[in-house]
């Protein structure tokens, strides 16, 4: 297992003060803190359900960033393997358990569950102070020219390494 530097350590923040904006890697995945702003809520001050999808999307993107997958570089490599590629959400299964409210500080936990030929399945939980508010599984497919394609090797290796670090059970 490769030791990764703590993205929130003083040394890392001094080298890159904006890195902490991407959350941090934890055993088995990634955690992204998110504050609930007025714009995230409905008229009653409760987070509008679709905004959880935005929080979860940001967490998936930042998870990739912190495991070393620079999306801009991936586009270049992937274009050589599969011109015109894109990631698409294939399926989502969400359970809304408790509401979040304006000014809450949430954590979005992301853990890889399966890395298949053309898809990645991730478990995600939105939490407040240890309480699960929303949980779900998201399957993301890799497509090019309108068809499912094998995930590029660089991304496959990075996701498999993160999956191997995930707690089993």
For the CA atoms of 6, 8, 9, 13, what is the dihedral angle to 10 degrees? 120
Q: Give catalytic status of residue 42 as yes or no.
A: yes
Report whether 102 contacts 135 (CB < 8 A). Answer: no
- Choosing from 42, 103, 153, 164, which is the catalytic residue? 42
How far apart are the C-alpha atoms of 100 and 7, rounded to whole Å? 27
H or E segment and range at residue 59: helix 49-66
For residue 112, which of 140, 87, 132 has the smallest C-alpha distance?
140
Catalytic center residues: 42
């Amino acid at each position: 297992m490769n030791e990764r530097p703590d993205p929130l350590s003083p040394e890392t923040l001094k080298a890159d003060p904006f890195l902490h904006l991407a959350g941090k890697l934890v055993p088995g995945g990634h955690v992204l803190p998110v504050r609930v702003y007025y714009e995230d809520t409905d008229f009653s001050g409760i987070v509008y359900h679709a905004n959880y999808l935005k929080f979860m999307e940001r967490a998936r993107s930042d998870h990739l960033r912190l495991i070393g997958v620079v999306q801009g570089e991936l586009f270049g490599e992937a274009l050589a393997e599969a011109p015109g590629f894109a990631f698409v959400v294939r399926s989502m299964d969400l359970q809304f358990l408790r509401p979040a409210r304006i000014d809450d500080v949430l954590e979005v936990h992301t853990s890889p569950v399966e890395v298949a030929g053309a898809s990645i399945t991730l478990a995600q939980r939105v939490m407040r102070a240890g309480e699960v508010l929303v949980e779900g599984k998201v399957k993301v497919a890799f497509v090019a020219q309108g068809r499912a394609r094998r995930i590029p090797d660089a991304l496959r290796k990075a996701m498999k390494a993160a999956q191997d670090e995930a707690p089993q059970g």
